[in-house]
């Protein structure tokens, strides 16, 4: 097969604040010949995640930073177009670390780049395997399990209109909790209450967001599904009840805050973890690969029964990935944010 040209992003420098064109260079390169034990995968959808921004920085994370000049790391779904690997047959649809590129050479010896073959026929649209049936849906499920809300308890989730938060709040509601979301803007708050069925939603852009949160949580907070960090987390800490639980999922407010002098104001209410005897559990979805099948199965049943709603923001064109990533930090999207890279071959 004549090899196509690859289009991809290489990380040239570590961003400070917004990702600039010079941080992430958009290039065309030839695709190398396939060696024994390799498969060529064409990316069809690429997931854009807050953690993409963490991987670009030198922050000590749960995975090493992307090396300078390497192809940008990213999770995608794709189709195997040519294969010298028995486990990845040509034509199959796969999910894994495709990177921010149109074509990915999947080498069997590269564990970080291991791929999962998706079921045939596909039970749901391809891109859902990056969202509600992928890592963000699983993250929501795991965090709710850790927070373990009881009927009548108050459950608060930040980034509530986003990929993880929208699912987490609905799962907590199904357990009988009083669910309060926090989202950016009146329209997102309307969506969270009217369409997702949360009991209330606080607009984090409103001047009185602290008052809104206090009014929405008159009995205090029992579970904080924490996605934001920063001043939102600090205010929540000040309202936790004795024995509260915090599934610490993310701290998106910190991810593009690279100026150590200006940022990281800290959490003055941290002492409430002690005073209220709070259980805080940091968790990372990729530590629970052994449970992915079970959890995806449960979410798939809820989707089929119509008891769980999800939304996706699909942006066309890999060349738009860099600018679109920046919109995560201005709260530009609703539900799971994915880039459509191409159409499958029939
Ligand atoms: N632990 C894990 O394994 C795991 C896995 C996946 C994701 N996560 C974490 O889960 C969180 C949500 O991820 P996601 O993929 O579902 O993304 P998302 O919620 O779809 O997008 C991020 C949202 O965060 C909000 N946000 C941005 N800057 C903020 C700030 N300064 N303060 C408060 N909120 C801000 C914005 O929503 P609004 O403008 O509406 O507030 C934005 O849309 C992130 O912290 C992510 O790192 C963790």
For the stretch 163-205, pLDDT in tens is 999 999 999 999 999 999 999 999 999 999 999 999 999 999 9
| In the predicted structure, residue 263 carries a pLDDT above the cut 50 | no
The pLDDT value recorded for residue 256 is 83
Give me ligand 1 centre to Cα 334, in Å. 11
Atom from ligand 1 closest to the CA of residue 332 = 43
**Strands 154-158, 178-183: parallel, antiparallel or unpaired by DSSP?**
parallel
Q: Using most ligand atoms within 8 A of CB, pick from 131, 138, 141, 159 the residue to mutate for ligand 1.
A: 159
Q: What is the pLDDT of residue 262?
A: 44
Whole-angstrom Cα distance, residue 95 to residue 113?
10
pLDDT digits (tens, 9 = 90+) for 18-75: 999 999 999 999 998 999 999 999 999 999 999 999 999 998 999 999 999 999 999 9
Of the given ranges (114-128, 139-153, 167-181), which has the lowest mean pLDDT? 114-128
Q: Does 58 sit behind a cis peptide bond, omega within 30 degrees of 0 on the bond before it?
A: no
Residue 274, pLDDT above cutoff 90: yes
Asked whether residue 346 carries a pLDDT value surpassing 80, the answer given is: no
The residues lining ligand 1, judged by C-beta closer than 6 Å to any ligand atom, are 49-51, 135-136, 139, 158-159, 161-165, 183-184, 188, 204, 227-228, 230, 232, 249-250, 252-253, 283-285, 328-329, 331, 333, 337
**Averaged pLDDT, 86-107:** 95
pLDDT, average across residues 280-301 = 96
Helix-helix angle 209-216:230-237, to 10 degrees: 40
Mean pLDDT, range 291-314, rounded to an integer: 95
Which of 227, 230, 232, 334 has the most ligand 1 atoms within 8 A of CB, as the residue to mutate? 227
Residue 260 has pLDDT above 60, yes or no: no
Measure the N-to-C terminal CA separation of the chain; round to a whole number of Å. 17
Q: 105-119, 159-173, 201-215, 265-279: which range is least confident on average?
A: 105-119
Q: At what angle do helices 163-174 and 135-147 cross, to 10 degrees?
A: 40
Cα 252 from Cα 235, distance rounded (Å): 16
Instruction: Please give the pLDDT value at position 336.
Output: 97
Ordered DSSP codes for 72-88: PP--EEEEEEEES-TTS
Instruction: Name the more confident of 292 and 332.
Output: 292
> Does residue 291 have a pLDDT over 70?
yes
pLDDT value for 266: 82
Distance 84 CA to ligand 1 centre (A): 38
Per-residue pLDDT, 332: 83
Confidence check: pLDDT of 251 > 60: yes
- Nearest residue CA, atom 38 of ligand 1? 184
Provide the mean pLDDT of the chain. Answer: 94
The band of 265, judged by pLDDT with boundaries at 50, 70 and 90, is: low
33, 34, 36, 39: CA torsion to nearest 10: 170
Phi/psi for 189 (5° steps) reads -65, -40
Domains of the chain are 5-130+311-340 (3.90.180.10), 135-286 (3.40.50.720)
Residue identifier of the C-alpha nearest atom 6 of ligand 1 = 136
Ramachandran class of 167: left when φ > 0, alpha when ψ lies in -120 to 50, beta otherwise: alpha
State the Cα–Cα distance between residues 97 and 85, nearest whole angstrom.
17
Taking a C-beta distance cutoff of 8 angstroms, is the pair 147, 247 a contact?
yes
Between 345 and 235, residue with greater pLDDT: 235
How far is it, in rounded angstroms, from Cα 194 to Cα 1?
52
**What is the spatial distance between Cα 116 and Cα 102, in angstroms, rounded to a whole number?**
18
User: Does residue 155 carry a pLDDT above 60?
Assistant: yes
Q: pLDDT by residue (tens digit) across 218-229?
A: 999 999 999 999
- pLDDT value for 184: 97
């Amino acid at each position: 097969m004549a090899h196509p040209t690859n289009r991809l992003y290489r990380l040239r420098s570590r961003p400070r604040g917004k990702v600039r064109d010079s941080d992430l260079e958009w290039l065309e390169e030839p695709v190398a010949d396939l060696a024994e034990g390799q498969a060529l995968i064409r990316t069809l959808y690429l997931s854009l995640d807050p953690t993409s921004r963490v991987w670009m920085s030198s922050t000590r994370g749960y995975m090493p930073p992307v090396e300078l000049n390497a192809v940008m790391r990213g999770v995608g779904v794709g189709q195997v177009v040519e294969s010298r690997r028995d486990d990845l047959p040509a034509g199959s649809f796969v999910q894994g670390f495709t990177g921010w590129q149109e074509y990915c050479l999947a080498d069997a010896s590269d564990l970080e780049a291991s791929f999962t073959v998706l079921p045939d026929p596909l039970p749901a649209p391809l891109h859902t395997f990056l969202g509600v049936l992928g890592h963000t849906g699983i993250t929501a499920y795991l965090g709710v399990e850790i927070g373990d809300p009881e009927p009548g308890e108050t459950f608060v989730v930040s980034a509530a209109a986003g990929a993880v938060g929208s699912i987490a709040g609905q799962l907590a509601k199904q357990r009988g909790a009083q669910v309060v979301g926090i989202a950016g803007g009146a329209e997102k708050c309307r969506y969270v209450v009217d369409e997702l069925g949360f009991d209330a939603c606080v607009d984090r852009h409103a001047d009185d967001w602290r008052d809104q949160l206090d009014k929405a949580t008159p009995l205090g907070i029992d579970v904080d599904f924490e996605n934001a960090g920063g001043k939102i987390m600090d205010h929540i800490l000040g309202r936790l009840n004795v024995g509260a639980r915090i599934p610490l999922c993310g701290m998106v407010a910190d991810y593009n805050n690279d100026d150590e002098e200006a940022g990281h104001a800290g959490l003055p209410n941290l002492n409430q973890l002690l005073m209220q005897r709070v259980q805080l559990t940091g968790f990372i979805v990729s530590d629970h690969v052994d449970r992915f099948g079970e959890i995806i199965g449960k979410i798939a049943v809820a989707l089929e029964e119509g008891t769980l709603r999800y939304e996706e923001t699909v942006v066309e064109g890999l060349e738009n990935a860099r600018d679109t990533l920046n919109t995560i930090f201005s709260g530009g999207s609703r539900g799971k944010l994915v880039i459509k890279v191409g159409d499958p071959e029939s």
